[in-house]
Amino acid sequence: MDGDMPAGFYDLQVDVVDATRNPVQNARSHIKVEVRVVPEIAFQNHATIRLEYNADTPIDSFSFLYEPEGEKSRLTRFKEYMERLLREDKCQVDVFSIKKSEAILQTSYKEVIDIRFTVQTEKGFLSPVLLNGLLAQYQSDIEQEIDARILGVGIDMCKLTHCDNGCQTVNRADTFGVMVDANNTAIVGVNASAHDECSCPVFLPPSSCDVDVCYNDGVCHNTYPGTFCECRNSNLNGFRCQGNTRSFNGAGFAWFKPMPACTSLNISLNFMTREDGLLLYNGPMRRTDKAEQKDVLNYQDFLSIYIKDGMPMVDLQFNGQATVELKINSIVTDGRFHQLTLSQQHKNLEFVLDECATLTSDVNDASECRIFKIAPDDDERLNIVTPLQLGGLAPLPTGVDYPEFVSGKKSLNGCIRKLVVNNDHYDLYNPVHYKNSVEGCSSYWGNACQVSSADATSNSVSASNNYCLNGECYAEVENAVPNVFVTLDMLVTVASVK
């Protein structure tokens, strides 16, 4: 068939003549062909599982597609499981590539079968961040469903890369198909491959409007130079129409894109709580023993920021072996907003509370607001493909546990606001997945920031909203009095409009 055939179903009829027989025998074969188009947006939003290749069992491309008599193929069982898991109306799971490949383990190479797929709903293609998270969360159930071992969720080419600084995994496809023939069924899929690209994904403000400059249906306007996002929702206070604040009730979580693999990392967030709890976790979603860690593709790198005994702490591993712990000796469970900043420059780590604003010149001990350490590992990047989990951990199936370093940590009962990673202001309004979490923080500060007829000195902003003319209103559990949070990027944006 021609490579430019339109998408659709085609019936082919083939007449076969066997002239070697006497008498000559004739047969007619009917073939049904389905042509599917994989648009660029679908390829950008695909997820991958890497199955362990086993020639004896067998687990290979043929056996994944093959449909035994009276049974469903592994392909069909995988698609049906994902559809049940997602519980979306009109959910279409499309496996567009089944390809034998070779993966780099920590000590060797291993043959794998890469299964690349997309999920489309009425709202569009689901994010690979969500899909990779669900695959990791329910990995043991999926393995049981398809009777195959998953060595990796997603493809991370940055662990053993030649890149000296930043790295990101880039997926590419060419015009050559990859064919899998399973007797009655054959698939000519997309010949896709993953590569390491030596760049650190850092957000740089665009000089002019482009796709995805503004979040949440915001309208982009050119200001020559620069851009301005006109937001459709008064709760979206980020300069790209991001939601700044999210609250958690002590039993929730929210998923966002994972940390970048950079040797230079700067993370900041504000939080408010009266209890110990997990603020942020990015790392493995299942426990593996030492022997298994050498034979899987998802590494044990992780980052955990949490409150313990009322004090902020960080646990971090670059290579799954040596954990670095940072602790600031100040109580922060006081119902007020506090800012935490974690900075990494290669092996140098610095953890700062409230920009050391309470530190005076006559105090030599800065441990109440700052700690500095040097990581012992040669690896200087976080290599993580699972979602960043904010405010708590997503529950796992029965019998599956998180790694020891994060298992058992309490979920946050409080608010998190303005999460920024390498100048990338995360959109807390629109996580890819969440539970027991809502945008904003009104459940903790009440109606302090609601518009009313009261004046600016009371517990509500004025009807004209002048209290927060060039900023964002926030309050604290301690006194529920409204305050103004002003960011430089917002002021620059306002100035550029004028």
Which token pair is 212?
Answer: 């995805």
Angle at the Cα of 209 from the Cα atoms of 205 and 211, rounded to 5 degrees: 95
For residue 225, the 8-state DSSP code is S
* Residue closest to 13 by CA, chosen among 24, 3, 2, 27: 27
pTM of this structure: 0.87
Tokens (6 digits) for 361: 């010149």
Domains of the chain, each with CATH number or no CATH: 8-197 (no CATH), 243-445 (2.60.120.200)
Q: CB–CB of 433/249 below 8 Å? A: no
427 pLDDT more than 90: yes
Which residues lie across from 413 on neighbouring strands?
249
Q: What is the SS3 string spanning 23-62?
A: CCEEEEEEEEEEECCCCHHHHHCCEEEEEECECCCCECHH
pLDDT band (50, 70, 90) for residue 453? very low
Distance CA 313, CA 302 (A): 14
Map tokens 């650190």 to a residue: 200
Q: How many CB atoms lie within 10 A of CB 370?
A: 18
**What does the DSSP 8-state code read for residue 236?**
-
Tokens of 459: 């517990």
Cα 419 to Cα 427: distance, rounded to the nearest angstrom: 8
Which of the 8 DSSP states describes residue 354? G
Question: H/E element holding 292?
Answer: helix 290-293
pLDDT over 60 (residue 364): no
Rounded to the nearest 5°, which phi and psi values hold at 444?
A: -110, -35
pLDDT in tens, 138-177: 999 999 999 999 999 999 888 778 888 889 999 999 988 9
Show the CA angle centred on residue 331, arms to residues 325 and 333, nearest 5°: 105
Rounded distance, CA 338 to CA 249, Å?
A: 18
C-beta separation of 93 from 119 below 8 A: yes
Task: Report the amino acid identity of residue 60.
Answer: D
At what angle are helices 128-137 and 139-146 packed, to 10 degrees?
80
Evaluate whether 149 touches 82 at the Cβ level (below 8 Å): no
pLDDT given for residue 343 in this prediction: 96
For residue 450, what pLDDT is reported?
59
361 pLDDT more than 70:
no
Spatial distance between the Cα atoms of 144 and 398, rounded to a whole number of angstroms = 13
The answer to whether 245 touches 439, Cβ cutoff 8 Å, is: yes
Instruction: Please say if the pLDDT value at position 456 is more than 60.
Output: no
pLDDT of residue 463: 36
pLDDT (tens digit, 9 = 90+) per residue, 34-48? 899 899 999 999 999
pLDDT the model gives residue 244? 92
